[in-house]
Amino acid sequence: MIETTEGDRAFPPALADVARVEFDYDDGEGVDFEPYDAFDSAEETTDWLRHWTGNHQLDGDAYRVFGQDGTGGLAALWRVRPDRPLAEQPVVFLGSEGERGVVAANLSDFLWVLADGLGPMEVVEHEEYDARPNPVLTELAERHASTPRRSTRDIVTAARSEFPTFSEDLDALCR
């Protein structure tokens, strides 16, 4: 079993701080996000990806899963930028019913999405991003973010422009 606290599985300090925040689902009006305090193991990630795609030849090495929604959809860092640290990898969401999308181009931008009162599932499943600023998450983003604050719409638009074939690339992996 690969340890989830060493090497490229070391949990970024910003995500450790996010894991200490309680997200209020508020009967569907809040944020449906349950952050983890460590990445899923390599084995858990591989098992999930194989079941999600139906392709049992895959491994989950391209993903570092760090949270979920209430239905089991997963938020992950997608290791698509070779030789770049985890904090510079895009954040993606893969829902339990096949929903998927790029949420932010990097961890820093993801912190600003959270500060706007939105989670990964809300960004992927909705086209309107009604900001409900969260003071706790805003302070966390101000402490950890290396990118300037921008609207969720600008963050998502930029990320999806940079990775326009994410969904199609996943479809190609499905069996």
Domain residues for 37?
22-173
Classify residue 71: in a domain, yes or no: yes
Classify residue 145: in a domain, yes or no: yes
Classify residue 6: in a domain, yes or no: no
CA 134 remoteness from chain centre: 18
Classify residue 4: in a domain, yes or no: no
Question: Which segments within 12-114 are labelled E, that is strand?
Answer: 34-35, 63-68, 74-78, 91-94, 100-104
Structurally, the chain folds into a number of domains equal to 1
Residue 79, classified by CB atoms within 10 Å of its CB into exposed (0-12), middle (13-18) or buried (19+), is middle
Question: Which segments within 22-144 are labelled E, that is strand?
Answer: 34-35, 63-68, 74-78, 91-94, 100-104
Classify residue 62: in a domain, yes or no: yes
Classify residue 57: in a domain, yes or no: yes
pLDDT in tens, the chain (175 residues): 333 344 678 999 999 999 999 998 888 778 999 999 999 999 999 999 999 999 999 999 999 999 999 999 999 999 999 989 999 999 999 999 999 999 999 999 999 999 999 999 999 999 888 889 999 999 999 999 999 999 999 999 999 999 999 999 999 999 9
Residue 165, classified by CB atoms within 10 Å of its CB into exposed (0-12), middle (13-18) or buried (19+), is exposed
What is the spatial distance between Cα 120 and Cα 33, in angstroms, rounded to a whole number?
7
Measured between alpha carbons, how far is residue 142 from residues 20, 96, 156 in Å? 16, 31, 19
